[in-house]
């Protein structure tokens, strides 16, 4: 039986853990401070410990009594106080007042980012002595006009920039904001209309951030669209590529340039052979990946002409129209060569036939950027999940434990699967037989071990042996 930290972390999340085991478990892993069954005496002991990391876990505890929050607000470790700010659903007036005057600007900065602050608190942080706190508060929806004006004229450049980005910006202030290097780029979006002379100056600005904002402005004259389409900065050209009104020839040329440039960042060897070229290639790759969001609103407004675009980012935006698209177009986008297009189409539909979801799943590949699977968007029915328990592909078998009534025999077979991702998926299933659960505590994959130790059906005597076998200082 394993005594790995993973097992102790799992026990710390196990809702069935007997309370008498918590003192020993807390001595072995700080994660236990987050257990909802942690008794008050142990919470008291954590408050008096020098280890701030354990205090952070206590601040995250969902069952933390209200009377502990004022005490955490005066904890000597600023990261404990920051955890209190980040993980508390609401902050009582006394706690909030204490945090508003916290001696560490990092705590006040995180506090300023909370959108649920009352106007009084938001205004106070907007006048904070630390510029990073004022900058963090600039986007708060509760700030009144006078406070926003003061932030736009703040002596600190980062604060002015944040305030300009948050808006709104009075037209009378735009000349000063455009003249200020710190706010020029952010001010461009507030220019309506865009005067031709001003547009030319922005398109020739030495700051690439200013030219990028100019490139996306809807009022940019055609001659400047062409000029910025040849800009040396990949980010500027990407915005020209994505904007409405760019000619087909210019769009094709920019896309070819950015795609070719991105190939330099394709592998690690490129960085070893020619770091400068690889970094330049990475800039091209990031420029292509950055296309989306507000820049493609014009595609979403009129999706049909772009559903067959040669550019995947246009097809993804068009897919956002969902079932407003003709059925044939929907079917084509669900079968698109680009995974992002297929996922966007599936996400925009209220329902999908199980056969279509399964087909999407078979083509889907894990992405670190987007972990959403088609079956997350449209859950598969029980009969399909049970059939998938015997599928040849591990990623399909890993879907089977989503069946809440998974038969014990299938659950046991999945727990003995040769693929760790399948064992991990079934380790927490409530119907997993104990005889199949116990071997997972000695699994070679720590995620499987942690999930098995967190299983509420784990026998108490096994929990006790795991805690006794744990070693002090394993942390986690």
Please check the confidence at residue 1 and state whether its pLDDT lies above 70: no
The whole-number pLDDT of residue 52 equals 86
Predicted TM-score (pTM) of the model is 0.87
Q: How confident is the model at residue 301 (pLDDT cuts 50, 70, 90)?
A: very high
Tell me the chain's radius of gyration from C-alpha atoms. Answer: 28
Please check the confidence at residue 470 and state whether its pLDDT lies above 70: no
Percent of the chain surpassing pLDDT 90: 87
Asked if residues 238 and 288 have their Cβ atoms less than 8 Å apart, the reply is: yes
The whole-number pLDDT of residue 368 equals 74
Question: Measuring CA to CA, how many Å separate 127 from each of 78, 81, 122, 160?
Answer: 21, 21, 9, 13
Check whether the bond before 193 is cis (ω within 30° of 0): yes
The whole-number pLDDT of residue 277 equals 72
pLDDT 10s digits, 220-272: 999 999 999 999 999 999 999 999 999 999 999 999 999 988 886 666 565 56
Give the Cα separation of 446 and 414 in Å (integer).
17
Please check the confidence at residue 60 and state whether its pLDDT lies above 80: yes
Q: How confident is the model at residue 472 (pLDDT cuts 50, 70, 90)?
A: very low
Q: At what angle do helices 312-319 and 339-347 cross, to 10 degrees?
A: 10
Please check the confidence at residue 125 and state whether its pLDDT lies above 50: yes
Burial 177-213 (b: 16+ CB within 10 A, else e): bbebebbbbbbbbbbeebeeebbeebbebeebbbbbb
Q: How confident is the model at residue 2 (pLDDT cuts 50, 70, 90)?
A: very low
Contacts of 460 (CB under 8 A, 6+ apart): 16, 18
pLDDT 10s digits, 262-287: 886 666 565 566 677 777 778 888 88
pLDDT 10s digits, 160-197: 999 999 989 999 999 999 999 999 999 999 999 999 89
**Cα-Cα-Cα-Cα dihedral sign, residues 299, 302, 303, 304:** negative
Question: Measuring CA to CA, how many Å separate 193 from each of 46, 198, 404?
Answer: 59, 10, 57
Query: How many other CB atoms are found less than 10 A from the CB of residue 246?
Result: 20
**Cα dihedral 454/459/460/466 (nearest 10):** -60
Give the Cα separation of 266 and 389 in Å (integer).
36
Compare 448 and 52 and report the one with higher pLDDT. Answer: 448
The whole-number pLDDT of residue 451 equals 97
Range scoring the smallest mean pLDDT among 260-264, 298-302, 361-365, 416-420: 260-264
Q: How confident is the model at residue 370 (pLDDT cuts 50, 70, 90)?
A: confident
The whole-number pLDDT of residue 66 equals 93
Asked if residues 423 and 398 have their Cβ atoms less than 8 Å apart, the reply is: no
Q: At what angle do helices 208-216 and 196-203 cross, to 10 degrees?
A: 140
Compare 63 and 50 and report the one with higher pLDDT. Answer: 63
Give the Cα separation of 265 and 258 in Å (integer).
12
pLDDT 10s digits, 378-404: 999 999 999 999 999 999 999 999 999
Q: Is 475 left (phi over 0), alpha (psi -120 to 50) or beta?
A: left
pLDDT 10s digits, 132-155: 999 999 999 999 999 999 999 999
Average pLDDT over the chain reads 93
* 153 three-state secondary structure: coil
Please check the confidence at residue 342 and state whether its pLDDT lies above 80: yes
Asked if residues 343 and 374 have their Cβ atoms less than 8 Å apart, the reply is: yes
Give the Cα separation of 313 and 344 in Å (integer).
10
Of 15, 24, 105, 14, nearest in space to 465 by CA: 24
The whole-number pLDDT of residue 189 equals 93
Compare 3 and 68 and report the one with higher pLDDT. Answer: 68
The arithmetic mean of pLDDT across residues 419-443, rounded, is: 97
The whole-number pLDDT of residue 471 equals 47
Asked if residues 455 and 468 have their Cβ atoms less than 8 Å apart, the reply is: no
The arithmetic mean of pLDDT across residues 404-431, rounded, is: 98
The arithmetic mean of pLDDT across residues 356-381, rounded, is: 93
């Amino acid at each position: 039986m394993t005594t790995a930290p993973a097992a102790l972390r799992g026990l710390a999340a196990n809702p069935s853990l007997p309370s008498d085991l918590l003192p020993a478990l807390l001595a072995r892993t700080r994660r236990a401070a987050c257990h909802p069954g942690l008794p008050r005496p142990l919470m008291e002991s954590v408050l008096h410990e020098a280890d701030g990391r354990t205090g952070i876990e206590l601040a995250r505890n969902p069952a933390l009594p209200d009377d502990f929050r004022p005490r955490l607000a005066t904890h000597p470790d600023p990261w404990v106080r920051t955890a209190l700010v980040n993980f508390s659903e609401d902050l009582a007036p006394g706690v909030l007042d204490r945090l508003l005057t916290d001696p560490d600007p990092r705590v006040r900065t995180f506090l300023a980012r909370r959108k649920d602050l009352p106007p009084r608190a938001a205004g106070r942080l907007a006048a904070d002595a630390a510029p990073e706190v004022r900058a963090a508060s600039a986007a708060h929806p509760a700030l009144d006009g006078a406070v926003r004006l003061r932030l736009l004229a703040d002596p600190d450049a980062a604060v002015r920039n944040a305030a300009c980005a948050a808006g709104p910006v009075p037209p009378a202030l735009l000349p000063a904001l455009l003249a200020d290097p710190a706010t020029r780029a952010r001010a461009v979006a507030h220019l309506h209309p865009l005067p031709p002379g001003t547009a030319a100056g922005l398109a020739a600005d030495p700051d690439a951030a200013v030219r990028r904002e100019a490139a996306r402005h809807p009022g940019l004259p055609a001659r400047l669209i062409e000029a910025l389409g040849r800009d040396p900065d990949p980010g500027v050209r990407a915005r020209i590529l994505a904007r409405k009104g760019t000619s087909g020839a210019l769009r094709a040329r920019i896309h070819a340039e950015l795609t070719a440039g991105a190939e330099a960042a394709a592998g690690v060897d490129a960085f070893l052979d020619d770091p400068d070229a690889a970094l330049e290639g990475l800039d091209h790759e990031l420029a292509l990946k950055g296309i989306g969001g507000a820049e493609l609103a014009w595609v979403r407004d009129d999706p049909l002409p772009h559903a067959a675009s040669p550019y995947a980012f246009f097809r993804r935006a068009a897919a956002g129209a969902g079932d407003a698209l003709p059925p044939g177009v929907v079917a084509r986008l669900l079968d698109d060569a680009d995974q992002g297009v297929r996922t966007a189409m599936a996400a925009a539909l209220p329902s999908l036939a199980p056969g279509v979801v399964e087909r999407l799943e078979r083509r889907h590949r894990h992405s670190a950027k987007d972990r959403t699977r088609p079956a997350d968007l449209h859950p598969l029915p029980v009969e399909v999940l049970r059939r998938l328990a015997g599928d040849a592909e591990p990623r399909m078998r890993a879907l089977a434990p989503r069946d809440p009534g998974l038969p014990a025999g299938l659950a046991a077979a999945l727990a003995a699967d040769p693929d760790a991702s399948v064992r991990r998926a079934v380790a927490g299933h409530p119907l997993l037989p104990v005889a199949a659960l116990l071997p997972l505590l000695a699994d070679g994959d720590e995620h499987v071990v942690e999930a098995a130790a967190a299983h509420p059906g784990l026998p108490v005597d096994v929990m006790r042996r795991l805690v006794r076998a744990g070693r002090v200082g394993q942390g986690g």
